[in-house]
């Protein structure tokens, strides 16, 4: 063979880009041709190392969020509650990389972008099933104990066309108002403690569910729908707080989530829908006893993140509609009422 048979691929200037000594120079020239001298000047690979390290750290935190320990202040659960918002740091890091004129920081800044897209990109598309009408529309709403217009809130919920409505954070004085306002639309209802269920269809086997609080904040009932029986659970898990001295205080919520998950796991009826304010997101590991056995209607048949709290500027979906043995068709948020939470709605196929 001739010597040319062993020749390696060369760049436009006749140099071998595969050579370790020349790769850096070859990459530098390519970058200069693509973006000009602004991002390809001297030191383009050495500048912005701190920005690059921050980008890599952000990518690791998002990708490995389940391994961030909860030992100190429940930092893992706190981060998982607002995990989608970590994506706002990505354009800032990329902007800093461009201002710093650092190719290393630009490339590193793409890592968290890919991780975020892998985690949440699917939520941005509309997953509503256009071929299915569904059998039943369900709504859940934390009406807020301090709601100054419970009658208006009840009318707004009824106007959604829901067949089954779950309300949380009911007060003793507000219950008669909701009962009166919803009576013409929903013939059947039951209030257990601070949660209630209203239905167009008969309810049977209505029982409170013990979630370890000493008072009733969860219930279950069998909905006798024309398409088949379905068990409806309504739950309002304890609130969480972020405190400087204690971090993310969620131990009571976590214990209640475990108790709720155990109750659902023992439920003999195959078709189950969970409606309520869980004070946690699907990403929060503390709710795994529930989320491991049920599907979120928003993740399966919604469009966008479906944030529900706070109503004035929703930042997290801590209210949930989840199903087991029931097929979600569509999922959406309803307009704000007098509550600090947004109502959630979903259309499901029960038959």
- Is residue 115 scored above 70 in pLDDT? yes
Tens-place pLDDT, residues 24-61: 566 656 655 545 555 555 577 888 999 999 999 999 99
- Position 6 scores a pLDDT of 40
- Position 41 scores a pLDDT of 56
| 292 vs 351, higher pLDDT | 292
CATH fold group of domain 126-349 = Deoxyribonuclease I; Chain A (3.60.10)
Q: Percent of the chain at pLDDT above 70?
A: 86
- Is residue 4 scored above 80 in pLDDT? no
Please report, in angstroms and rounded to a whole number, the separation of the first and last CA atoms in the chain.
74
Query: Could you give the CA distance from residue 299 to residue 121 in angstroms, rounded to a whole number?
Result: 11
- Position 2 scores a pLDDT of 45
- Is residue 250 scored above 90 in pLDDT? no
- Position 3 scores a pLDDT of 45
- Position 13 scores a pLDDT of 47
Q: Residue 90: which pLDDT band, with cuts at 50, 70 and 90?
A: very high
Q: Which residue has the tokens 């961030």?
A: 68
Lowest mean pLDDT among 39-53, 60-74, 139-153, 254-268: 39-53
Q: What is the mean pLDDT of the chain?
A: 89
- Is residue 154 scored above 70 in pLDDT? yes
Q: Residue 330: which pLDDT band, with cuts at 50, 70 and 90?
A: very high
Residue ranges per domain, the chain?
Answer: 3-123, 126-349
Tens-place pLDDT, residues 140-149: 999 999 999 9
- Position 45 scores a pLDDT of 81
**Residue 163 contacts residue 137 (beta carbons within 8 Å):** yes
- Position 5 scores a pLDDT of 42
Q: What is the model's pTM?
A: 0.85
- Is residue 134 scored above 80 in pLDDT? yes
**Residue 150 contacts residue 179 (beta carbons within 8 Å):** no
Q: Residue 243: which pLDDT band, with cuts at 50, 70 and 90?
A: low
> How, if at all, do strands 136-142 and 164-168 pair?
parallel
- Is residue 269 scored above 60 in pLDDT? yes
Least Cα distance to 207 among 194, 221, 195 occurs for 221
Tens-place pLDDT, residues 102-114: 999 999 999 999 9
Tens-place pLDDT, residues 207-238: 999 999 999 999 999 999 999 999 999 999 99
Least Cα distance to 283 among 76, 129, 40, 104 occurs for 76
Report DSSP state, residue 237.
P
């Amino acid at each position: 063979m001739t010597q040319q048979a062993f020749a390696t691929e060369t760049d436009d200037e006749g140099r071998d880009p595969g050579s370790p000594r020349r790769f850096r120079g070859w990459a530098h020239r390519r970058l200069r041709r693509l973006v000009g001298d602004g991002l390809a000047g001297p030191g383009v690979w050495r500048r912005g190392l701190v920005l690059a390290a921050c980008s890599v750290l952000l990518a690791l935190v998002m990708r490995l969020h389940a391994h961030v320990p909860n030992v100190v202040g429940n930092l893992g659960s706190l981060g998982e509650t607002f995990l989608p918002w970590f994506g706002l740091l990505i354009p800032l890091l990329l902007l800093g990389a461009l201002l710093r004129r650092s190719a290393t920081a630009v490339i590193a800044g793409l890592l968290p972008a890919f991780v975020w897209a892998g985690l949440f990109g699917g939520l941005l598309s509309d997953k509503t099933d256009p071929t299915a009408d569904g059998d039943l529309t369900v709504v859940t709403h934390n009406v807020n104990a301090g709601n100054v217009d419970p009658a208006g809130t009840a009318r707004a919920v009824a106007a959604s066309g829901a067949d089954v409505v779950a309300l949380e954070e009911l007060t003793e004085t507000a219950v008669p108002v909701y009962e009166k306002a919803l009576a013409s639309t929903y013939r059947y209802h039951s209030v257990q403690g601070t949660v209630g269920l209203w239905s167009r269809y008969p309810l049977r086997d209505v029982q409170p569910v013990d979630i370890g609080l000493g008072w009733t904040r969860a219930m279950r009932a069998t909905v006798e729908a024309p398409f088949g029986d379905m068990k409806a659970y309504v739950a309002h898990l304890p609130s969480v707080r972020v405190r400087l001295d204690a971090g993310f205080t969620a131990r009571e919520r976590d214990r209640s989530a475990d108790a709720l998950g155990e109750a659902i796991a023992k439920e003999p009826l195959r078709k189950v829908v969970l409606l309520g304010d869980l004070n946690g997101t699907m990403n929060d590991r503390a709710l795994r006893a529930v989320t491991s056995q049920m599907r979120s209607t928003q993740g399966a048949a919604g469009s966008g993140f479906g944030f529900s709290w706070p109503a004035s500027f929703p930042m997290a979906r801590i209210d949930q509609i989840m199903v087991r043995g029931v097929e979600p068709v569509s999922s959406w948020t309803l307009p704000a009422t007098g509550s600090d939470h947004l109502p959630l709605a979903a259309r499901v196929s029960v038959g």
